[in-house]
Amino acid sequence: MCGIIGYVGGRPCRELILTGLERLEYRGYDSAGFALIDEGHGVVESVRAVGNLAELRAAAGEGNGNGATAGVGHTRWATHGRVTTANAHPHASADGSVLIVMNGIIENYLELRSELQNAGVVFASDTDTEVVPQLIARAYDGDLAAAVRAVLPRLGGHFAFVAAHVSEPGRLVAARRECPLVIGVGEGERFVASAIPAFLSETRDVVLIEDDEVVALDADGHAIWQGEERQPARPPSRVDWDEDAAEKGGYESFMLKEIHEQPAALWDTIGDRLRGDGSVELDGLGLDDAALARVERIHVVACGTSYHAGLVGRYLIEDWARVPVHVEVASEYRYRTCLAGPGDLVLGITQSGETADTLAAMRVARERGAHVVAVTNIMGSQATRDADGVLYTRAGLEIGVAATKTHTAQVMALSLLALKLGRLKWALTAAGALDLADELRRIPDAVEAYLRSPAPERVMQAAAAYAERPFFLYLGRHVGVPVCFEGALKLKEISYIPTEAYPAGEMKHGPIALLEEGSPVVVVATDGHVFDKVVSNIQEVRARGARVIAVATEGNEEIERHADDVLWAPRTPALLSPIAAVVPLQLFAYGIAQSRGLNVDQPRNLAKTVTVE
Ligand code: G6P
């Protein structure tokens, strides 16, 4: 996690760095800092502060580095060392000559630190990062890029960093291993950052840096090395992302904006992939139809909300294509005996394409000979480079830490894959596939109509009434299980209220003991073959005094007799209900967090991309 940015060029860059950091804040926000360097004056301003970017701006005030044309900035998600100003970046070498901002972890830092301490180097922080400027300062002999190249092989772990040296004020040197780093190419200026949005308002021409490359940047150019070998010039590619994605566009938060962007995310994810005859075209999987038809087994690896999308995908693929699907959190999959192999398809679902555990699990499966496809939202992300093929979700940039539109887009992408597999496996008839294709096409409109209706406002009102409850139980059956997992995750992420999410049938094996008079129980009770079973579970929890908040399909009158509150979801066929049913639960979590006065876009301790295991 952590976001890093650097600028070198002809313009005063203080505001460019601070604005860029604001765009990277989703990566971590427990502390932040920046340093500005000017020709002939060295470091003219260096500020670090605990808290988010607003705190950094407050600490920096008017500042005295307004003329500086080179600088680095950092927003932190702590790994090594508590959240303190001393542990915030930039970190400097003991002699003050080298400055570093870094994302990632130096795994052998203890060994490097004691070696440096034995040589008399005094450390100013508890971080793993600080060994990097210390090593570079000692290796420096008038050429920062050479010093970074010399130090890089000594560093274990995964990281991306940007270094500056007071003697080379017009130059930055950056390096990466398994953490993202992109260069922004402008007229007489260069940006370097963890992610493109950091400089998207300034340039759309980007160059991606590969693992173990070192790049030296100055106003007029950049040079890239792999080891000591200078790499051929790499032409920039142009990104056509919507810059507005990084703005709230009139909404009170990114999360609320992104909830409302779900119809567009769903439409775009379908795009031209769904043909009039019900067939599905998925470019980029790295498998032709004949090879896909031979797939006998699918493994899905993912974390967090992406894992929940994978759980939904299992129901769809197993039902439509009759291919067995194993879904597992990547952090467990990567350390188990991996039984995937040639002939198996492994889907790594990761909106960011950066999650360390998901990348590692994909690597394990790939080494075993499985065909690995990344299901991701970010073009050029590490997952796309590590995989044999890619299935893109097209949700646009998501800034809110709690994933919403990327989740529903993942479910849609998996639906398309399931439909395609269903036809290839002859598990679906042509007519059956055509019906499903029509149903899939209807979903974005149904979600759009729902979001425009009075229903979301009613969800918010219901949420406000429950905002002070100390605990929520979420129950569901069949496809309602991953929906309640996701609904419960949203609530705990942004409201900090403990939740338990369970398959309703398992409720009697433990969670029912948690219920007391008035305990709120959220039950996913959408129409389908398990509806009556879910209603029985509703009776059971109500008999113990619980208050039931049911998520039900629009038009289902029966549910009103059983539930205390109903959150309506747009009508879809049962297997496609997870997209429709999760939206009211996103809003419910949102409404509770809002009533509690919490910052939904920056929940405590979380980060959007988890690049450490
Ligand atoms: C973090 C985020 C979640 C996300 C998970 C997986 O925990 O806060 O919103 O679901 O990482 O991220 P990925 O980018 O791999 O989908």
Say what the pLDDT of residue 245 is: 66
Mean pLDDT of the chain: 94
Confidence at 240, pLDDT banded by 50, 70, 90: confident
**Ligand 1 atom at minimum distance from 410 CA:** 16
Kindly write down the DSSP assignment for every residue of 406-472, as one continuous string. HHHHHHHHHHHHHHHHHHHTT-S-HHHHHHHHHHHHHHHHHHHHHHHSSHHHHHHHHHHHHTT-S-E
More confidently predicted of 292 and 245:
292
333 CB contacts (<8 Å, ≥6 apart)?
A: 299, 301, 361, 364
Task: Tell me how far the alpha carbon of residue 484 lies from the centroid of ligand 1, in angstroms.
Answer: 17
Annotation marks residue 608 as catalytic: yes
Q: Write down the catalytic residue from 2, 13, 338, 484.
A: 2
Mutate to test the pocket of ligand 1, among 333, 376, 610, 613 (most ligand atoms within 8 A of CB): 610
Mutate to test the pocket of ligand 1, among 254, 259, 306 (most ligand atoms within 8 A of CB): 306
More confidently predicted of 276 and 370:
370
Portion of the chain with pLDDT greater than 70, in percent:
99
**Ligand 1 and 401: CB distance under 6 A:** yes
55 CB contacts (<8 Å, ≥6 apart)?
A: 32, 49
Closest Cα to atom 7 of ligand 1: 304
Q: How far apart are CA 41 and CA 101, in angstroms?
A: 20
* CB-based contact 522:500 (threshold 8 Å): no
Say what the pLDDT of residue 333 is: 96
**Ligand 1 atom at minimum distance from 606 CA:** 8
Element (H, E) at 11: none
Per-residue pLDDT tens for 110-133?
A: 999 999 999 999 999 999 999 999
Say what the pLDDT of residue 446 is: 97
pLDDT for residue 187 is more than 90:
yes
Q: How far apart are CA 553 and CA 569, in angstroms?
A: 5
| Tokens found for residue 11 | 């313009």
Classify 179 in phi/psi space as left (phi over 0), alpha (psi -120 to 50) or beta: beta
* CB-based contact 114:59 (threshold 8 Å): no
**Ligand 1 and 407: CB distance under 6 A:** no
Per-residue DSSP letter, 359: H
Alpha helices (H) in 246-381, listed in sequence order: 254-260, 262-270, 289-293, 304-321, 330-333, 356-367
Closest Cα to atom 1 of ligand 1: 608
For the entire predicted model, the pTM comes to 0.85
521 CB contacts (<8 Å, ≥6 apart)?
A: 472, 473, 474, 475, 515, 541, 546, 547, 548, 549
Annotation marks residue 338 as catalytic: no
Q: How far apart are CA 222 and CA 545, in angstroms?
A: 67
Determine the average pLDDT of the residues in 536-542: 95
Q: 304-321 and 480-495 helices cross at what angle (nearest 10)?
A: 170
Say what the pLDDT of residue 246 is: 66
Highest mean pLDDT: which range of 41-45, 249-253, 314-318, 514-518: 314-318
Determine the average pLDDT of the residues in 418-436: 96
| Encoded amino acid at 37, one letter | I
Task: Tell me how far the alpha carbon of residue 561 lies from the centroid of ligand 1, in angstroms.
Answer: 37
Give the Cβ contact number of residue 209 at 10 Å: 21
Say what the pLDDT of residue 243 is: 64
Determine the average pLDDT of the residues in 556-573: 95
Say what the pLDDT of residue 244 is: 64
**Ligand 1 atom at minimum distance from 493 CA:** 8
Per-residue DSSP letter, 236: -
pLDDT for residue 249 is more than 80:
no
| Encoded amino acid at 246, one letter | A
CA triplet 290, 406, 553: central angle to 5 degrees? 95
What per-residue string of b and e applies to 51-69 under the rule 16 or more CB within 10 Å gives b? bbbeebbebbeebebeebb
More confidently predicted of 499 and 65:
499
- State CA 336 to chain mean position distance: 24
Per-residue pLDDT tens for 300-338?
A: 999 999 999 999 999 999 999 999 999 999 999 999 998
The verdict on whether omega for the bond into residue 90 sits within 30 degrees of 0, i.e. cis, is yes
pLDDT for residue 28 is more than 90:
no
**Ligand 1 and 377: CB distance under 6 A:** no
